[in-house]
Amino acid sequence: MTTPAAPSDPNSPEIPSSFEDQVKQIWERNGGFIYLLLGIIALGAIGKGGYEYFTVQKELRVEQDYAACTAADMLKAFADSHRGHPLAGLAELRAADMAYGAGNYGEAATEYGQALPDLTVAPLIARAKLGMAVSQAQSGKVSDGEAGLRQILGDESQLKPVRCEAAYQLAVLEVSQGRPGEVRALSDRVMQLDPSSPFSERIISLRSSLPDPTVSLGIPGAPAAAH
């Protein structure tokens, strides 16, 4: 007698499908969503690449515009139209240098001051501060210039060459104002900061060109002045 087939158990677990079948079922159920998700990712990648390309091209145009500036008025116009950009500060710094070279010290002081907010590199900031102080002194604002130079000289965060130049410019200012008494102290300060600085030689030369204070004061034992 033939044995009848055993009836199937409705509670027995189904035989699991293969991995390929599972992927196929997921794709059939969610294919539209997956295509949409891939499309969003692709658009995001394209958008990011396009934004980066636009940013690079814009920056190149700014740099080209800056390179084309050959006169002070062009540099000022560039700075006015690119406020906040590092090259705006550099353009004003160049314009200030041109004004100083032409003897327009008041204009130079203004330009140096306007360059400061747009400068981000420490040596350029120091250069603008130094230029502004010297220009102020040259334009008749002696007290402002002197205060600026003393601030730079006393600022230990500044580079030594900048502080040495500030000391030298301060010594020149003191002599021009008929106050040569501090030149010796300033020259000693420069020698302490950096004896190899070119401004150490300049300030020593300035110091040696001044009359000996012991002679002018008639200090006993001092050599007599030549007649």
Backbone angles phi, psi at 85, to 5 degrees: -85, 140
Residue of 156, 189, 110 whose CA lies nearest to 169: 189
Task: State the pLDDT at residue 80.
Answer: 87
CB 209 within 8 A of CB 174: no
Task: State the pLDDT at residue 105.
Answer: 93
Q: Determine the Cα–Cα distance for residues 9 and 82; give it in Å rounded to an integer.
A: 81
Q: Can you give the pLDDT of all 227 residues of the chain as single tens digits?
A: 444 444 444 454 454 455 555 545 555 555 555 555 555 565 565 555 554 655 566 678 877 887 888 888 898 898 888 888 878 888 898 999 999 999 999 999 999 998 898 888 888 899 999 999 999 999 999 999 999 999 999 999 999 999 999 999 999 999 988 888 889 999 999 999 999 999 999 999 999 988 865 444 343 333 333 33
